[in-house]
Structure 1
Amino acid sequence: MVLSSRLPPLLTCALTGLLACSAQASTVTAVPDSLQPLLVTINERLNIADQVALTKWDSGKPIQDTAREAQVIASARAMAADRKLDPDEAAELIAAQIEANKLVQYGLIAEWRAADKAPDLPRPDLTLQIRPRLDELQNLLLQQYADFAPYRKDPNCPSWLGVARAGLIKDQLHGQALIRATGELCIADQ
């Protein structure tokens, strides 16, 4: 090696180690296959908020449904063990989905109030059609979250998430809600 013939052995060793560390630090971990399906499910769940908002517009019911939220979160806690998830983390994930969903509902209803009308779209039944679909998505979401869990602490996780999430955003309101729904998927090094 030309470098070693001109430098003292100790300095050569230090430089070689530094170069090896730099090469290792610049290595980017590949995006895990489990991220995209998880985000697609989160986004699908979030898009159902539009239908929920329509049903609440028509019924005049409040967006906040504390009893239903508690039931959904309790269900997530119960399902966590089967997926080898921490019940608190599963509850936090589902609570984030609920908050993101409400963000969309509040935003849409505010727009409709300003226009004094909601879109003329079909209204699925909240109890018979929408909630069963949300329950199905919760089951799928928890399994996909369990599949992604080993990657949550990877230093590249926020970058993966930012890029993958950007491809799913359809408008500003849903984009903000998607950010809220995925805000704790990556765990920053403390």
Structure 2
Amino acid sequence: MFHCLRLPQLLTCALFGLLAGGAQAATPSPAPDTLQPLLSTISERLDLADLVALTKWDSGKPIQDTTREAQVIANARKQAAERKLDPDEAADLVAAQIEANKLVQYGLLAQWQAARKAPDMPRPDLNQIRPKLDELQNRLLQQYADFQPYRVDPECPVWLAQQRSSLIRDALHGQALIRATGELCITDQEG
């Protein structure tokens, strides 16, 4: 039996352990094809937060719109049944999108308030943006249903981190994207 008592033997044991462990480690499985479209839709929805923030800047309306948020979440629950999704999970997913969107809006408004101006660019009316948000929610729930079987895969957090990183364009939107995707993977299952 080989004992690891002296420094040279300790180093040899450590090296042997690393090599043996590396040989046994499985090659990570590739991300499912359903993840990237889902993340792209989430990112596209976050991009609309910039336009919503501009409309809130112009109108002076608060970012928090509890009535509208409740309607959007209730609609997600109804759409979940059509896709054989758990209504509570669909509601949680959509609530995360709303919170991430508000994170971007609050961040942008704070930047613009500090600068005492918003970007000089055309902005649609909020009523023109909402149909696009509704269409994105429909697509989001379908893509979420397609991704559903992979949520419990042990590799899910790794896939998510790798594919999400390519969509991050700045710190604010990056944090919002992390918030929007925070519950996509189920890593702690109690049985």
Report if TM-score (shorter chain) is over 0.5: yes
- Residue 116 of structure 2 is matched in structure 1 by 116
SS of corresponding position for 2:167: coil
Q: Distance in 2 between matches of 1:176 and 1:39?
A: 14
CA shift, 1:125, in A, is 1.1
Tell me what 2:88 maps to.
Answer: 88
The separation in 2 between residues aligned to 1:30 and 1:107, in whole angstroms, is 34
Report the TM-score when normalising by structure 2: 0.86
Counterpart amino acid of 2:154? P
Deviations 1:117-160 (A, max 9, x none): 00001111101x10000000000000000000000000000000
Match of 1:185 in 2: 184
Letter in 2 for 1:82: E
- Runs of 4+ aligned structure 1 residues displaced above 6 Å come to none
* Pairwise CA distance, 1:29: 2.1
Q: Provide the aligned C-alpha RMSD in A.
A: 1.2
**C-alpha offsets along residues 49-79 of structure 1, whole Å, 9 cap, x if unaligned?**
0000000000000000000000000000000
Q: Structure 2: where are the runs of 5+ without partners?
A: 1-19
The CA distance in 1 between the partners of 2:169 and 2:65, in whole Å, is 26
Q: Distance in 1 between matches of 2:182 and 2:29?
A: 20
Q: Distance in 2 between matches of 1:182 and 1:83?
A: 19
Equivalent residue number for residue 76 of structure 2: 76
Aligned residues: 168
SS at structure 2 position matched to 1:48: helix
Q: Which amino acid aligns with 1:131?
A: R
**Aligned counterparts of 2:154 and 2:95: Cα–Cα separation in 1:** 24
Which residue is equivalent to 2:157? 158
Structure 1 segments unaligned to the other structure (5+ residues)? 1-18
Match of 1:36 in 2: 36
> Aligned equivalents of 1:88 and 1:150: distance in 2?
17
